[in-house]
């Protein structure tokens, strides 16, 4: 029991460190991409942090299986390198107990990954798309970006802002144009701000500017100078955008039953199963001699993970195109890995010795 707790503590400690490192790598790339798209005006600044949190939750589906696999390789590899595993074998701790301890931990991690990939990851993806849909329908001043034309809630109204204050409450050097009652209107103002009127409606108030109505040269063309002029901001209806399959709930994928939906569903089921098989596969792959380097088997493990993941991607694509049946689906990839695991275990367990002669 003490030996099992020692092994589990080594693996869990390494797992936490590797998962944290991979999370920083994945999340830093996600954060840079979201910030660059927010600066370009694709995302409103008000949804950046929420979007980052939702995308980070989805990234855990990729992080946890790989982190768990690498943690077993590193933890058990260190025990082999420091000859601790040799001592355990000499004390009667056989490979069966190692596999049993790692298998129990792998089952727990696989269940966690299953809950994440079947429920929380699609929920986070769907919530991020809904967040962007709601942000696209909002007409708040925080949604405006400096140096580009912005579509407001008012129909046909385009607003160009040269600068925005740090508290995002006041706009500098504003230009707006659109159709009002079928006539072309153009406004220029030194400043503008958003405020709520007595009727509860929101207005974009232009300060110290000019308003041009109609077409230049027409009899009804007018130029009006004003100190304060407000335009009511009308909220647009939230229209749901098209959702990709990875943002659809798992139960809806099962109900639909098309090849594409079944491919996505089997992919989600494959991730926890891959976590379990990779955890068991890491035990024989971590076996090394004390003379090998610290990361001697790490390259082999990463290569095995890449091949496993690519085979699942190929099988998912074939199932989505209807080239293979649903009962075969992605399961043949797991069958190959399971067979490989059994062969490796059999070869490592076989002890050389003299052949027995027939009586």
Q: What is the pLDDT of residues 221-278, one digit of tens each?
A: 888 888 888 777 665 555 555 678 888 888 888 888 788 899 999 999 999 999 999 9
Q: Is the pLDDT of residue 145 over 70?
A: no
Kindly state whether residues 82 and 149 are assigned to the same domain: no
Residue 320: which residues within 8 A CB-CB, separation 6 or more? 259, 260, 263, 264
Do 116 and 217 lie in one domain? The reply is no
Residue 290 lies in a domain: yes
Q: Do 182 and 300 share a domain, yes or no?
A: no
222 with 157, same domain? yes
Number of domains forming the structure of the chain: 2
- 201 closest CA partner among 153, 145, 157: 153
CA atoms within 13 A on the CB side of 57: 20
Q: Measuring CA to CA, which residue among 215, 164, 160 is closest to residue 188?
A: 160
What 3 state SS string does 296-329 have? CCHHHHHHHHHHHHHHHHHHHHHHHCCCCCCCCC
Query: Cβ contacts of residue 83 below 8 Å, gap of 6+?
Result: 290
**pLDDT confidence band for 191 (50 / 70 / 90):** confident
**Which one has a higher pLDDT value, 19 or 6?**
19
Residue the block writes with tokens 């991409």: 33
Contacts of residue 174, defined as CB under 8 A and 6 or more positions apart, other chains included, come to: 159, 160, 161, 162, 187, 188, 189, 190, 191, 192, 206, 209
Let me know whether 8 and 123 are in one domain. Answer: yes
In contact, 253 and 265? CB cutoff 8 Å: yes
Same structural domain for residues 54 and 111? yes
Question: Which structural domain, as residue segments, surrounds residue 129?
Answer: 2-136+241-349
Query: Residue 244 phi/psi, 5° resolution?
Result: -70, 170
Q: Which residue has the higher pLDDT, 122 or 161?
A: 122
Claim to verify: residue 222 and residue 327 sit in the same structural domain: no
Last residue of a domain, one of 232, 256, 288: 232
Whole-model pTM: value is 0.73
Range of weakest confidence among 59-73, 134-148, 294-308: 134-148
Alpha-carbon torsion 100, 105, 106, 108, what sign? Answer: positive
Neighbour-count burial of 277, counting CB atoms closer than 10 A to its CB (0-12 exposed, 13-18 middle, 19+ buried): buried
pLDDT greater at residue 357 or residue 94: 94
């Amino acid at each position: 029991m003490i030996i099992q707790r020692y092994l589990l503590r080594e693996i869990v400690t390494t797992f936490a460190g590797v998962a944290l490192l991979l999370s920083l790598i994945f999340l830093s790339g996600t954060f840079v991409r979201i910030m660059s798209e927010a600066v370009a005006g694709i995302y409103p600044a008000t949804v950046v942090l929420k979007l980052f949190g939702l995308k980070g939750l989805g990234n855990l589906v990729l992080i946890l299986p790989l982190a768990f696999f690498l943690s077993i390789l590193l933890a058990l590899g260190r025990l082999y390198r420091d000859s601790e595993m040799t001592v355990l074998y000499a004390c009667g701790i056989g490979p069966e107990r190692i596999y049993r301890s790692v298998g129990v931990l792998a089952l727990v991690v696989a269940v966690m990954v299953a809950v994440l990939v079947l429920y929380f990851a699609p929920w986070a993806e769907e919530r991020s798309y809904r967040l962007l849909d709601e942000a696209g329908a909002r007409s708040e001043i925080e949604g405006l970006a400096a140096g580009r034309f912005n579509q407001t809630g008012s129909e046909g109204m385009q607003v160009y802002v040269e600068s925005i204050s740090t508290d995002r409450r006041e706009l500098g050097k504003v230009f707006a144009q659109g159709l009002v009652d079928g006539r072309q209107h153009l406004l220029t103002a030194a400043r503008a701000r958003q405020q709520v009127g007595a009727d509860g409606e929101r207005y974009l108030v232009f300060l110290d500017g000019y308003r041009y109505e109609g077409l230049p040269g027409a009899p009804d063309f007018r130029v009006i100078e004003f100190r304060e002029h407000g335009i009511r901001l009308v909220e647009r209806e939230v229209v749901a955008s098209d959702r990709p399959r990875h943002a659809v709930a798992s139960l809806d994928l099962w109900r639909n039953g098309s090849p594409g939906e079944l491919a996505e569903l089997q992919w989600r089921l494959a991730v926890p199963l891959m976590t379990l098989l990779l955890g068991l596969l890491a035990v024989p792959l971590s076996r090394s001699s004390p003379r090998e380097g610290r990361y001697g088997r790490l390259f082999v493990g990463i290569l095995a993970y890449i091949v496993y993941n690519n085979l699942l991607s190929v099988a998912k694509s074939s199932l989505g195109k209807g080239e293979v049946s649903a009962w075969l689906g992605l399961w043949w990839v797991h069958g190959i890995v399971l067979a490989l695991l059994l062969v490796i275990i059999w070869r490592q367990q076989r002890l050389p010795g003299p052949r027995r002669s027939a009586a």
